[in-house]
Chain A
Amino acid sequence: MADGVVLLDTYFSMFGMRARLALAEKGIEYEYKEENLGDKSPILLEMNPVHKKIPVLIHNGKPVCESLIIVQYIDEVWKDNNSPSLLPSDPYQKAQARFWADFVDKKVYDAGRRLWTTKGDELETAKKDFIEALKLLEAELGKKPYFGGENFGFVDVALVTYSSWFYAYETCGNFSVAEHCPKLMEWVKRCMEKESVSKSLADPKKVYDFVLFLRKKHGLE
């Protein structure tokens, strides 16, 4: 396989968006391959035999899997190329960044998923859990422009991709993120002013259409 960078991904995946975003932040050129998850390519199955999931970053023929692991890999490999590091150099700050990125995956993902796959009481619980998780993140952001401080960082990458799904979550759950977490929405707007972010994230209306399609497919509509 040629030297270079290939990303196996799907347009709507907030995990795939993280990889795209990290590559854009570092100014890395790569080949993007859109996967059809209903008919996974032989290369995906070969490069991620364990989970058979996207995103997969293939660098010089070698696969890196799991979005946060990919982002850290990108940060470590392309660390001296005139773009700021996504992870802090201080071990304690680094651990805190990893903690909050892990929190996003443990709490935001699950509650978010329940927002479009459940109804009635389960949906109300999902809403409560989702807002609670975002509130904790908003508190962690505090007065900083980004989770990374003055610079866009690891936790920003981890969370901002979910914002492309907020419209879908809000519509399914009949609530507004801005109403509960205004500072967080300001942070989203600030991030979207960065070209790397606006070009890496999926269009929220298209995400919503995709969610509707999935809901119909699973008999939820």
Chain B
Amino acid sequence: MAEVKLFGVWDSPFSKRVELALKLKGVKYEYIEEDLKNKSPLLLNYNPVHKKVPVLLHNGKPISESLIILEYIDDTWQQGPPILPKDPYLRSKARFWAKFVDDKCIPAMWKACWQKGEEGEKAMEEANDALEFLENEIKGKRFFGGDDSIGLVDIAADVIACRNGIIAELMGVQFLRKDKFPNLCKWADEYCNCSFVKENQPPNQKLIHHYKALIQASTSSKSTK
């Protein structure tokens, strides 16, 4: 039995975080793709509370919630670069910004993509406000984790960096605009060019096909109302 298993979904930004952290640390693992419309008994057993991915299984013991899993990985595997800094104050800042990405950035960005009209516009405003805070936080730094190291916040914000292009192209929503967020754009370029990031993204064509299908389904469900 493999020591480390990851239950994930290929296009989930939250699963992706865990994969990136494991790759960063050089941890070998078995990946198990879940079908969220037909969740496996194993997933339901390992995450009975939320029934969600990702779930990391280490020596038979499950850990859920992506940011908690990232800290677990950092606490457990000493090899490879640290995901969190050692200093308690810097750790608190990393946790703060990772939580900010989850609570403020991603929900607003998701709504701005998928909700049209007034609600979509309001969400876009919220997304821009949130990104403005991130813009100020990254100023003067190469990565959120520091000049040399990708850290918790960079990995948490992976979806913001790596899907910006596809979302702009297919959905006409451009989040990381150079005129508005020059520092974030620079960070996204640097981050996406890191080899372990590049090598661990979902295949581009598969992602495009998937988004096109989602857009189609969303449009046709609106027109059948």
Q: Check A91 against B76 for contact (C-beta < 8 Å).
A: yes
> Which size bracket describes the interface of B in this complex?
20 to 34
Indicate whether A69 reaches chain B with its CB closer than 8 angstroms: yes
Using an 8 Å CB-CB cutoff, how does the interface string of B36-66 with A read, 1 for contact, 0 for none? 0000000000000100000000100101110
Residues of B within 8 A of A102 (CB): 65, 68
Partner of A91, one of B49, B75, B91: B75
Residues of B within 8 A of A66 (CB): 95-96, 99
Q: How far is A119 from B44 in the complex, measured between Cα atoms in Å? A: 33
Residues of B within 8 A of A72 (CB): 91-92, 95
Q: Check A98 against B91 for contact (C-beta < 8 Å).
A: no
Q: How far is A77 from B86 in the complex, measured between Cα atoms in Å? A: 11
> How close is A77's CB to chain B, nearest CB, in angstroms?
5
Residues of B within 8 A of A92 (CB): 58, 61, 63, 72
Residues of B within 8 A of A65 (CB): 96
Indicate whether B71 reaches chain A with its CB closer than 8 angstroms: yes
Indicate whether B117 reaches chain A with its CB closer than 8 angstroms: no
Q: How far is A50 from B58 in the complex, measured between Cα atoms in Å? A: 36
Q: How far is A89 from B158 in the complex, measured between Cα atoms in Å? A: 29
Residues of B within 8 A of A77 (CB): 88
Complex interface residues of chain A between 64 and 91 (CB less than 8 A to chain B):
64-66, 69-70, 72-73, 76-77, 91
Closest to A48 in B: B96
Residues of B within 8 A of A96 (CB): 63
> How close is B69's CB to chain A, nearest CB, in angstroms?
7
Known contacts A50-B100, A66-B99, A95-B63: A73-B88 contact under CB 8 Å: yes
Closest to B91 in A: A76
Closest to A103 in B: B49
Known contacts A94-B75, A103-B49: A69-B68 contact under CB 8 Å: no
Indicate whether A62 reaches chain B with its CB closer than 8 angstroms: yes
Closest to A136 in B: B49
Q: Check B96 against A69 for contact (C-beta < 8 Å).
A: yes
Q: Check A64 against B92 for contact (C-beta < 8 Å).
A: yes
Q: How far is A62 from B88 in the complex, measured between Cα atoms in Å? A: 12
Q: Check B71 against A98 for contact (C-beta < 8 Å).
A: yes
Indicate whether A99 reaches chain B with its CB closer than 8 angstroms: yes
Indicate whether B31 reaches chain A with its CB closer than 8 angstroms: no
Q: Which of A70, A77, A92, A103 has the most CB of B within 10 A?
A: A92
Indicate whether B110 reaches chain A with its CB closer than 8 angstroms: no
Complex interface residues of chain B between 132 and 149 (CB less than 8 A to chain A):
133
Partner of A95, one of B71, B96, B133: B71
Q: Check B91 against A99 for contact (C-beta < 8 Å).
A: no
Residues of A within 8 A of B133 (CB): 50
Q: How far is A65 from B96 in the complex, measured between Cα atoms in Å? A: 7
Closest to B59 in A: A92
Q: Check A99 against B64 for contact (C-beta < 8 Å).
A: yes
Residues of B with Cβ closer than 8 Å to A?
Answer: 49, 58, 61, 63-65, 68-69, 71-72, 75-76, 88-89, 91-92, 95-96, 99-100, 133
Residues of A with Cβ closer than 8 Å to B?
Answer: 50, 59, 62, 64-66, 69-70, 72-73, 76-77, 91-92, 94-96, 98-99, 102-103, 136
What 4 A-B pairs have minimum CB-CB distances, sorted nearest first? A91-B75, A76-B88, A95-B72, A73-B92
11 A-B pairs with CB atoms under 8 Å apart are A59-B89, A66-B96, A69-B96, A76-B88, A76-B91, A91-B75, A91-B76, A92-B61, A98-B71, A99-B65, A99-B68
Seed contacts A59-B89, A103-B49; 13 additional CB < 8 Å A-B pairs: A62-B89, A73-B91, A73-B92, A91-B76, A92-B58, A92-B72, A94-B71, A94-B75, A95-B68, A95-B72, A95-B75, A99-B64, A102-B68
